[in-house]
Structures are given as structure tokens and as C-alpha cells.
Amino acid sequence: MKKKILAAMLAGAMVLPMAGCSGSPDSSSDNAGDSEDASSGDSSTDGEAEETEIQVFIAASLNTVMTELAEMYNEEHPEVTITYNPDSSGTLLTQIQEGYECDIFFSAAQKQMDDLEADGLMVEGTRADVVNNQVVVVSLKDSGTKVTGLENLNEAESIALAGGSVPVGRYTRQALINLGTLTETDDPASITTEEVSEALGGVEISEQDNVSKVLTAVVEGSCEVGTTYYSDTYGYEDDLDILQTVSYDLTGNVIYPIARVVNEEADDAQTAAAEDFLEFILSDEAKAVFESYYFDTNV
């Protein structure tokens, strides 16, 4: 059965700028008819590399850095269109399980990658840990908030918090458990936003379905504070105050794993491009870019 193809959020061989592309879907189908060889899977006869497209599902917090990495990759491989789908890792996993076409999955947590592997949807031997991140508590610069971190989060007027299925939401809940604010449970993701609000004395919480929307809620001033990743504050240094960088003792490591996804619809050119792009993401050249966007590559 032909897999469903998710509407593109951004394309790698970019004609339009890629940065900040979490807006309207952008179809990359314009390239589909450029070469009969590309559609048929036959090798190019003029010596040029065969055009192809790969679908890469990325955690929303990777959107900016992966935009730059795609541009770098396309300098050497203009024949490869990289179509990103950025969202929460839980949403992306569900889409893959439902049959959406995907070549590479780059998750913000191990749980979703574990589930992918358990479902037999991962290409064996391709899984690798790429970066570590940290949860931060942020507010709009000079907001005057009384909150200094998770310990007195209850003093906020309003909080932007990702849902439990979103990795940053799960890490935040785990930290609050370790602080004694929330009751111990085997699955922090199961703690509802309403239960978090109750534990914080009834503070207003705006639940968001990915980390980028948490950041937006704080930057736009609709919520006083929020929990996001340190890497997400890149480019917002003049807009945000980091109230607390939450220690790994509270959250555990925030490891981002990557792996190729079983894609039975992919031809040889698409499979080769996915293998090569994954190798590039794991390279020292890419590592330097991740570090420039506040990711920790010591994993």
C-alpha cells in the first residue's frame, strides 16, 4: 500500500529561505517532474547525480539548526530535496505509525525512538545519539516576574507548558516530581496539565502541543513564564530572560536520537540519499553547527 505523504513544512534544496519555517505547508512536488530518471529510479545517463527527495521528521526544537544543516548539505548535494516535518516527537511517532512516508526520524527523547524500534519501523543499526539539551525556565525580558525557577513556579500568573506526550513537557514533569511538587509516578507523561496546575496552587497553565509553541507564548507575552529548551533560546537573546537552567539531576539527560525509518516505497536513490544525509548529521562538521545553536554534543 502506498504510504501517505505529509505536507512539507520546508524543503531542503531551498528556493525560499528556510529559517523559521513553522508556518504554512510548502509542497516540494515542483521537482517531481524535472527528470524522468528521478521518477523511474533509473540511473542518470548524462553523468549528473539523480534527483531525489527524502522525508525527515524532526523534533520542533531542531527546526532552526536543521535548516542550516540542510543548506550546507545541499551545497554538495543539490540533487537531494530535504523535506522537513517539524513537530513534537510524540506527534511525529504517531504519524510514522499511521503510515506517513518518512526516511529519517530525529527525536527529542529516547522514548519515541524506543517505540519506533519496538514497532519494527527502524532500520536496524542506524540509531545514534546526536546531542544533549537542557530544559530552561524563561520569561519575557524585564517581565518583572517573581519566578526564579521551577521551585517557585507557583508564583507565576500564567505558564506555558507542553503536554505530557511532548518531550519537554515530560522532562518538566519529571523535574517537578524530583522537586516534590508532583507525586511520584512511573510515567510522568501521564500527569495532566490540570494536575500540574492543581499541584501549583491553581495557577493558569496554557498547554502547548510542541516546544516551539511554548516559546512563542512567552515571546508574545501571552504567558508569563514557560519551560523550553536552551537551544530554543537561540536568536531570542534580546527577548528572553533565562530564569533557570534546570540541572540534569532533575530532568535526566535530554538526549536526541536519530535513525532511519523503514520506507518500503523508497527507491535506490532515495535510500542512498537518506543514508548519506544521516552520515552527514553525525559528522564533525555538523557537530560544530549543533554547538553553535546551544546544543551539547558530548553524548
Q: Return d(Cα 287, Cα 22) in angstroms, integer.
A: 23
Checking if the pLDDT of 250 tops 80, the result is yes
Q: What is the pTM of this model?
A: 0.81
Q: Are strands 52-59 and 104-106 parallel, antiparallel or unpaired?
A: parallel
Question: Which runs of consecutive H residues, i.e. helices, occur in the chain?
Answer: 36-40, 63-76, 89-97, 110-118, 167-178, 193-199, 211-219, 248-251, 268-281, 284-292
Checking if the pLDDT of 164 tops 50, the result is yes
What integer is the mean pLDDT of 158-165? 97
Place of cell 508556518: 23
Checking if the pLDDT of 14 tops 50, the result is no
Instruction: Encode pLDDT of 140-160 as tens digits.
Output: 999 999 999 999 999 999 999
Instruction: Encode pLDDT of 182-236 as tens digits.
Output: 999 999 999 999 999 999 999 999 999 999 999 999 999 999 999 999 999 999 9
Instruction: Find the helix packing angle between 110-118 and 167-178, rounded to 10°.
Output: 120
Say what percent of the chain tops pLDDT 70: 84
What integer is the mean pLDDT of 32-46? 43
Checking if the pLDDT of 128 tops 70, the result is yes
Q: Return d(Cα 33, Cα 35) in angstroms, integer.
A: 6
Q: Are strands 135-140 and 240-245 parallel, antiparallel or unpaired?
A: antiparallel
pLDDT value, residue 48: 73
Strand order in the sheet with 80-87: 10-11, 80-87, 52-59, 104-106, 254-260, 128-133
> In whole angstroms, how far apart are CA 263 and each of 1, 87, 104?
12, 20, 9
Let me know how long the chain is. 299
pLDDT band of residue 47 (cuts 50, 70, 90) is low
pLDDT value, residue 251: 97
Q: Return d(Cα 60, Cα 58) in angstroms, integer.
A: 6
Handedness of CA 48, 275, 123, 164 (dihedral sign): negative
CB 62 within 8 A of CB 232: no
Residues in contact with 112: Cβ distance below 8 Å, sequence separation at least 6, in sequence order: 89, 90, 92, 93, 105, 167
Checking if the pLDDT of 108 tops 70, the result is yes
Mean pLDDT of the chain: 88
pLDDT band of residue 49 (cuts 50, 70, 90) is confident
Checking if the pLDDT of 15 tops 60, the result is no
What integer is the mean pLDDT of 254-265? 97
Extract the C-alpha cell encoding 17: 529561505
Checking if the pLDDT of 120 tops 80, the result is yes
pLDDT value, residue 5: 58
Checking if the pLDDT of 26 tops 80, the result is no
Go through the domains of the chain in sequence order and give each one's CATH number. 10-132+255-292 (3.40.190.10), 135-245 (3.40.190.10)
Residues in contact with 291: Cβ distance below 8 Å, sequence separation at least 6, in sequence order: 297
Through-space distance between the first and last CA atoms of the chain, rounded to whole angstroms: 38
Q: Return d(Cα 35, Cα 49) in angstroms, integer.
A: 11
Q: Are strands 158-162 and 225-229 parallel, antiparallel or unpaired?
A: parallel
Checking if the pLDDT of 21 tops 90, the result is no
Query: Cα-Cα-Cα-Cα dihedral of 227, 129, 186, 122, to 10°?
Result: 120
pLDDT value, residue 104: 98
